[in-house]
Amino acid sequence: MPFDAIFTGVQSEDDQFGAVGGILAAKMGLPFVSMVIGIDSFESDHAIVRRELEGGLQERVKIMLPCVMSIQTGINEPRYVSIMGIRKASKVERKVFKAADYQENVGIKIELAKWVYPAKKAGATILSAELEAPAKSCLES
Amino acid sequence: MSYALVVAEVRRGICEERNLDSIGLCTLLGKDAVLLIPEGNYEFNEQLVNGLIKAKVEEQAFLNPLVMVNILEKAMAARGKPDMIIFTNSASGTELASYAAGFFNLPIITDVNGYDKGQGVFYKSTIQTDLR
């Protein structure tokens, strides 16, 4: 089925790998833009989107279609679903794909070794507002 | 000699400070760091790395995942395959890293914040309320 775009999330809430969109795009040979926080225009052959960068910076990107976009949280306000909509959705055919069907000949290249909390470090010292004494103690330590 | 290819993050003419984290990881790993950076007047202390590869592309193209995989192919053809490719832990770094991992069929770990040489494991952030 022809399509214009594939949307993925930016990252999962727990593992936060943030890798699905990029890997998917590369495997399908499609252009990819991540951290999308707004779609300014969606034309027949391209889209203009805004992506979030560090420090409050945003980047406006033109991307050719079809493409893969990973969508950042908060891009859209979820709507309440109407009763009619729920009924309609319940009748839609759901295709279930088993992960095991796609794991043949895929070697384990990455493995979770353990979960740990970061080692505790020594507590911080609050220095007084006077400049000279703390500066001296920092130089001495 | 095994080496790690460090892809520099540059933006608006500046070599981002977070590149130092990537180079620091190479030190933890005990690997030579070879920095891949676009040509330009980027202020950077070259003594911090063991090698430098300059890509003849504009900054914007350098940050494009489709262009980046071509640059990486050329860099690896010229220098040999690295043990790993390190990107910055940022929006652009993750974008480039995930695309490169898919393109070259390589395993990927994002958000790396440590390495235990004794056990040979990387640490990354995760959110779990109950660790067992």
- Give residue limits of the domains in chain B: 3-124
pLDDT band for position B132 (50/70/90)? low
The pTM for the full model equals 0.86
**CB pairs < 8 Å spanning A and B:** 93
pLDDT computed for residue B129 by the predictor: 66
pLDDT digits (tens, 9 = 90+) for A88-112: 999 999 989 888 888 777 777 888 8
pLDDT computed for residue A99 by the predictor: 83
Q: Please check whether the domain covering A5-92 is classified as CATH 3.20.20.60.
A: no
- Extract the tokens encoding B39: 């040509």
Chain B: residue whose CA lies nearest to A15: B126
Kindly report, residue by residue over B12-22, the tens digit of the pLDDT.
999 999 999 99
Mutate to test the interface with B, among A6, A8, A15, A50 (most CBs of B within 10 A): A15
- Dihedral sign (CA B84, B88, B93, B98): positive
| Mean pLDDT along residues A26-55 | 96
Average pLDDT over residues A38-48: 96
Residue B130 predicted with pLDDT over 70: no
pLDDT at A80 over 80: yes
Residue A40 to chain B, least CA–CA distance (Å)? 20
Measured between alpha carbons, how far is B58 from B64 in angstroms, rounded to an integer? 10
For residue A107, the model assigns a pLDDT of: 75
Q: How many angstroms separate the CA atoms of A28 and B83, rounded?
A: 25
- pLDDT higher than 90, residue A44: yes
Cβ atoms within 10 Å of A87's Cβ, excluding its own = 9
| From A23, A33, A116, residue closest to B101, measured CB to CB | A23
Q: How far is A114 from chain B (nearest CA, A)?
A: 9
Integer CA distances (angstroms), B55 to A81, B35, B93, B101, in order: 51, 10, 17, 20
Is B98 in contact with A21 (Cβ distance < 8 A)? Answer: yes
**Is domain B3-124 classified as CATH 3.40.50.620?**
yes
Q: Which residues contact A15 (CB under 8 A, 6 or more apart)?
A: B126
A-side interface with B, Cβ within 8 Å? Answer: 13-27, 31-35, 51-54, 109-110, 113-118
- Are B128 and A113 a contacting pair at CB < 8 A? no
- Name the CA dihedral angle for A75, A52, B57, B36, rounded to a multiple of 10 degrees: -120
pLDDT of residue A89: 92
Task: Supply the mean pLDDT for chain A.
Answer: 89
Work out whether strand B121-124 and strand B112-116 pair parallel, antiparallel, or are unpaired.
antiparallel
Is this complex's ipTM strictly greater than 0.95?
no
Q: b/e per residue, B12-25, with b = 16+ CB within 10 A?
A: eeebbeebebbbeb
Of B20, B4, B15, whose CA–CA distance to B38 is shortest? B15
Phi first, then psi, for residue B115 (nearest 5°) are -145, 130
B95 CB near a chain A CB, below 8 Å? yes
Note whether B65 contacts A54, CB cutoff 8 Å: no
pLDDT at A137 over 90: no
* pLDDT score for B128: 72
pLDDT of A125 over the 80 cut: no
Give the tens place of pLDDT for each residue, B110-120.
999 989 989 99
Instruction: Give the model's pLDDT for residue B104.
Output: 96
pLDDT tens for each residue of B54-86: 999 999 999 999 999 999 999 999 999 999 999
Domain boundaries, chain A: 5-92
